[in-house]
Structure 1
């Protein structure tokens, strides 16, 4: 004797709502992980504004250049060494970094960040494998960590 007027279905066939729910339960975590990964890759984690994906363009005029603050010595040194790395090779730039730190001990606290910037620049110019071949123990192997960070 049946007590219900609704037709009974077999346990495995509960209709389209259950099928949609199961599909969402499988797809939604994948979509969330991928979107989170893509969002994280767009963030400038290096702290170097030159590496930023969303860096603003430089619109400095001649009048603004007079009012601009002088650049820090470590920024000037980093830019010179990156230019030297592109013109010659990372080995020469690393040697000059070590010499600059020896001559001006106040630059020692910036040595690691400069060497990492050189490592990232070397990967952009020479590729990861060739850039790694220039690594040497300047500033506690910070150059090699910059190469590694730029690789992937």
Structure 2
């Protein structure tokens, strides 16, 4: 006499002989997706504080709070690429030197030709900032033919 075994009662195996997977269905996939996406959504939704640095030299304070509690709930307008680049290069000029900032300006314009029409104004801003940081003689020593002579023009305009 032959005994038949019921496959469904064998230690977590289904009728086909394969193991039964508990808790690995659509709910598990949704949970994993939320665990990965939720932190990114929170960061991008503007929950971080933002500060603004005044590089113009008109104000002696180094930073001011850019958003108040009521402004945080409103979506901030997106900044133009040339404004982002200018701010990045001005910071780089302060942290390193104008030569590094000018090199990165040239690389940015070469890599993204649409920034070319803003190159002169960015270079002039770098020239003005270089005079404030290094003085007119030392700032002029960093001049190079990036965006024609706009950096030197900015140095001269700030010096006079």
TM-score range, shorter chain: 0.5 to 0.7
Asked whether the equivalents of residues 127 and 139 of structure 2 are also in contact (C-alpha less than 8 Å), the reply is yes
- Give the number of the structure whose alpha-carbon radius of gyration is greater: 2
Stretches of 4+ aligned residues off by more than 2 angstroms:
49-54, 57-60, 65-68
1:143 matches 2:151:
yes
Question: Do the aligned partners of residues 53 and 83 (structure 1) sit closer, same or farther apart at CA in structure 2, a change above 3 Å counting?
Answer: closer
Q: Deviations over 1:124-149 (max 9, x none)?
A: 10000000000000001100000001
Question: Do the aligned partners of residues 92 and 102 (structure 1) sit closer, same or farther apart at CA in structure 2, a change above 3 Å counting?
Answer: same
CA RMSD across the alignment: 2.1
With the length of structure 1 as denominator, give the TM-score of the two structures.
0.61
Gaps of 5+ in 1: 1-48
Instruction: Give the distance between the partners of 1:94 and 1:52, measured in 2 at CA.
Output: 20
Gaps of 5+ in 2: 1-53
Aligned residues: 102
The structure richer in helix per residue is 1
In structure 2, what is the equivalent of residue 60 of structure 1?
Answer: 67
With the length of structure 2 as denominator, give the TM-score of the two structures.
0.58
